Chains A and B, each alone.
Chain A
Amino acid sequence: MAQEYAIELKGITKTFGSVVANNNIDLNVRPGEILALLGENGSGKTTLMNMLSGIYKPDRGQIFVDGKEVTIDSPEDSKRLGIGMVHQHFKLVDVFSAADNIWMGREKSGMLLKKERYAEIEEMAKKFGFDIDPKKKVYNMAVSEKQTLEIIKVLYYGAKVIILDEPTAVLTVQEINKLFQILRRMKEEGHSIIIITHKLNEVMEISDRVAILRKGEYITTVNTSQTNEQALTEWMVGHKVDLNIQRAPMYKTRPLLEVRDVTIRSDEGAVAIDNVSFYIRGGEILGVAGIAGCGQKELCEAIAGLRPIEKGEMIHKGENIVGLPPRAILEKGISMSFIPEDRLGMGLAPSMSITDNMILKKYANSRGPFVDRKTGRKDAEQVIRDLGVVTPSTETPVRRLSGGNVQKVLLGREIKAGPNVIITAYPVRGLDINSSYAIYNILNDQKQDGVGILFVGEDLDVMIDLCDKILVLCHGKVMGVVHAHKTTKEELGLMMTGALDLTHKYEDKPAGFARDSRFCTENRKEEA
């Protein structure tokens, strides 16, 4: 007889030291359904799922698989019970091929490594409806390929219940659609799927039911068809939240930063940014939309002086900044905060305290051989107060903070320096609703102070609401600059894939060239 629930959790409690990560949580998932697990950062979603995958052991509570009570002491136990988890940070061996990453967990695989394993893995992947190159090394794979490999891996081990931890955080719109197709197909085949996310539109699109956690407590489980985004948000956050971003109208100055005909190469030597021109005025937010890896990173690095440009000009308030060292660019008031996929990779030193990270940017100003910790601590206190960073103290290592707070510290430090141009890439990557809106507010405040902001983003809905103009990149080429209040998601999507080119929309003005440019006329003549 089929059991009602594939997995049932009863009264699960888990504490880390004095922190209660999960308190008395009940959760169940039926065979052949997609359950969304919704909650803000730090609400205990991942912790709860890690108890199913055998990473953590619950302090109290029961776990039932197909109606039978089980104890899960290790990932091995979890695998044997048919539970597979695709972790947010992929658990893959970079130097291994796709096949070996799967093969290494195979039971009864025999003593010898045979060449036939490649064919076997490929065939099996085909059976599940995936097309992979079994010999491709993981370090050569794009993020979406790695994710696919993880999914194939858990399927290969015979998982009936598949847990995905924020699978869409690093994917493009198209890749998300593909992933959702895969999930729907797996559901039809009778798999149970638990998907952790905090993107409400995705919850509404893919899930059958939604379970909501808040600060380690179980709130409720509802049928997706009987709820809406507003209600979910209120359960998740605990109070009413205004889901609208206010686009503050602003008086705009002459262009602060003008980028003209710039070409930049990537680390591999390929052309990452191809003949790109744009400008940012004070008091406006210019969004940069594009599929991941379309030169966004290279562009940000080049403006900050971290990457040489092959040709072209960058003018800041009429002065050329090409070839200046990063510190000189910084002193001109151009600040960059780039949040990479792993969030801690750039900008902050994870094991150093908030104070130390504040000092990192200013140590050159201190006199004598000693570091000025007093000012650093004062800066840290101010950022913590102004941006509402949740931290035990100013001396807490940054890596111990939750994702949203880390990003607030990074942005806070950049703003502290009083820049006139802010380059920010993916500042809300992986953040929950509350933290994301806090970041949007910070950016809007800066804009109202007359700062020009380059906002490299992922979420088109947000960009349309937040930005004044949006520049669309496709494989390093500009597809056009559109006014955010006049465009649509569909138009942006078409431009991102290169299907729509709006660079020649205005005949009298090339795209990305300001009418009141600060390029000197002599300069222009020389160019011509």
Chain B
Amino acid sequence: MELDKLGVVTSFVHNIVVYNIPLLYGTVGEIVVEKSGSLNLGVEGIMAVGAIFGYICGCYANSLGVGIAVAFLAGALCGLLFAALTVSLQANQNITGLTLTTFGLGVYFFVGNGLKAKGWPVMGDYANIKAGFSDLPIPVLSDIPLIGQGLFSHNLLVYLGIFIAFVMWWYLNRTTPGLKLRAVGENPGAADSVGINVKRMKYLHICLGCGIMGIGGYYMGLNMSGSFNSSCWINGYGWIAVALVIFANWNPAFAIIGTFVFGFFNTLRVSGSSLAAAFPGVLGWLAAVPTQLYQALPFLITAIVLVASSVRNKQGSGLPASLGLNYFREER
């Protein structure tokens, strides 16, 4: 029995990572977008578009790499649309983002339902995808008892997501283009006056960030084994990502922590009952907690973090000062 209990803990930890990595992609992508001063509320839709095209193309090519690339490109294309509307045509960012959510979900169901009528690609039929999405244990680390299997034995996309988060942290804080990007997000007028091409910076990073979100969507499709039904694969994760950006204080490295904090409660909702069954003495009460409470908890934490970060002095906040404001050089 003792081993079984350990197994429950291990799979609990494993699930925290596996089911919530898409949040990390969404959050890191949105951080990159927001650091350019653009508030993109279309994460949900962009992840959906990345998911559907990534999944279909990946299956047809029978290659995980193609899937990732297509998901990235599909997301980036959505970003291009967002950038064209808000940067070049000066459309309101909030409304454009919300529209993009509706648009993305529409594309998702249009393509998905259309293809379902003609023959849906089943993930199990594509050996390379299945193999690519299976766990790759990290030697030595994964042998650590209790948590080794939970933390250090995951599929390629989990490692990629964490890698991207660290790379983006490094890019924003330790490179010159990152400095210029932050300048654009803080004060585009100042950036413009020293010769930084504000439009190009915004376009590039909106596309980059949205591409990263697209990969996150693709992950969600794969994690659902590609079974297409009436509810979207993304299932509100895009919205949680928008909140996580604030939780992470616009820091891609903190986004990893944020993802796992949210993930913890998310996983309690799903596997709280199995924990309760394994440890009836200590955690038995978990079974009595209504699942709706777990669903609400991440948002409660966001609210607390929001209050805490508003108490913290303004300078410590990573909030880009010009977030949500369009830049027009000749505005007086």
Contacts and interface: CB of A to CB of B under 8 A. Distances in A.
Interface of A: 16, 53, 55-56, 74-76, 79-80, 85, 87, 91-96, 100-101, 103-107, 109-113, 137, 139, 153, 157
Nearest to B180: A104
B180 A112 contact: no
B176 to A, nearest CB: 5
A96 B186 contact: yes
B116 interface: no
28 contacts: A16-B332, A55-B329, A55-B330, A74-B192, A75-B192, A75-B194, A76-B197, A91-B192, A92-B187, A93-B186, A93-B190, A94-B187, A94-B315, A95-B186, A96-B182, A100-B179, A103-B176, A103-B179, A104-B180, A105-B193, A105-B196, A106-B176, A110-B176, A111-B177, A113-B175, A113-B178, A137-B315, A139-B315
Contacts of A104: 176, 179-180, 183, 191, 194, 196
Interface string B296-332: 0000000000000000000100000100000001101
B47 to A, nearest CB: 30
Contacts of A53: 193
A95 B321 contact: yes
A91 B175 CA distance: 22
A75 B195 contact: yes
A155 to B, nearest CB: 13
A100 B178 CA distance: 11
Nearest to A79: B195
Given A76-B195, A105-B195, A92 B190 contact: yes
A91 B195 CA distance: 12
B137 interface: no
Given A91-B192, A110-B176, A113-B179, 15 more contacts: A16-B332, A55-B330, A74-B192, A74-B195, A75-B195, A79-B194, A91-B190, A93-B190, A95-B321, A104-B176, A104-B180, A105-B193, A105-B194, A106-B176, A112-B175
Chain A binding surface, main DSSP class: loop
Contacts of B183: 93, 96, 104
Contacts of B194: 75, 79, 91, 104-105, 153, 157
Interface in B162-204: 173-180, 182-183, 186-187, 189-197
Which of A16, A107, A113, A137 has the most chain B CB atoms inside 10 A of its CB?
A113
Given A75-B194, A75-B195, A137-B315, A91 B176 contact: no
Interface of B: 173-180, 182-183, 186-187, 189-197, 315, 321, 329-330, 332
Contacts of B173: 113
A508 B100 CA distance: 77
A153 B190 CA distance: 11
Instruction: Give 3 nearest A-B pairs by CB, closest first.
Output: A105-B194, A76-B195, A91-B190
Which of B176, B183, B186, B329 has the most chain A CB atoms inside 10 A of its CB?
B176
A148 to B, nearest CB: 16
Contacts of A111: 175-177
Nearest to B177: A111
A76 B186 CA distance: 19
Contacts of B174: 112-113
Nearest to B178: A113
Chain B binding surface, main DSSP class: helix
A95 B195 contact: no
Contacts, number: 81
Contacts of A92: 187, 190
A103 B180 CA distance: 9
B166 to A, nearest CB: 16
A456 B269 CA distance: 63
Contacts of A112: 174-176
B186 A94 contact: yes
Contacts of A55: 193, 329-330
Which of A76, A79, A153 has the most chain B CB atoms inside 10 A of its CB?
A76
Nearest to A78: B195
Nearest to A102: B194
A99 to B, nearest CB: 10
Contacts of B192: 74-75, 91
Contact of A109 (B176, B197, B332): B176
A112 B315 CA distance: 24
Contacts of A87: 193
B172 to A, nearest CB: 10
Given A100-B179, A112-B174, A139-B315, A56 B330 contact: yes
Contacts of A76: 195, 197
B1 to A, nearest CB: 55
A57 to B, nearest CB: 8
B325 to A, nearest CB: 14
A106 B177 CA distance: 11
A113 B179 CA distance: 8
Contacts of B195: 74-76, 79-80, 105, 107, 157
A133 to B, nearest CB: 16
Nearest to A399: B332
A344 to B, nearest CB: 13
Contacts of B193: 53, 55, 75, 85, 87, 91, 105
Given A104-B180, A111-B177, A91 B189 contact: yes
Contacts of A153: 194
A96 B315 CA distance: 10
Contacts of A107: 195
B208 to A, nearest CB: 16
A95 B329 CA distance: 21
A94 B174 CA distance: 18
Contacts of A105: 193-196
A96 B194 CA distance: 14
Contacts of A79: 194-195
A103 B175 CA distance: 11
Given A55-B329, A87-B193, A105-B196, A95 B176 contact: no
Contacts of B175: 111-113
Nearest to B179: A104
B261 to A, nearest CB: 26
Contacts of A157: 194-195
Nearest to B174: A113
Contacts of B197: 74, 76
A56 B330 CA distance: 6
Nearest to A21: B332
A104 B192 CA distance: 10
Nearest to A400: B332
A80 B176 CA distance: 20
Contacts of B332: 16
A157 B177 CA distance: 18
A87 to B, nearest CB: 7
Nearest to B314: A139
Given A104-B183, A110-B176, A95 B330 contact: no
Contacts of A110: 176
A91 B329 CA distance: 13
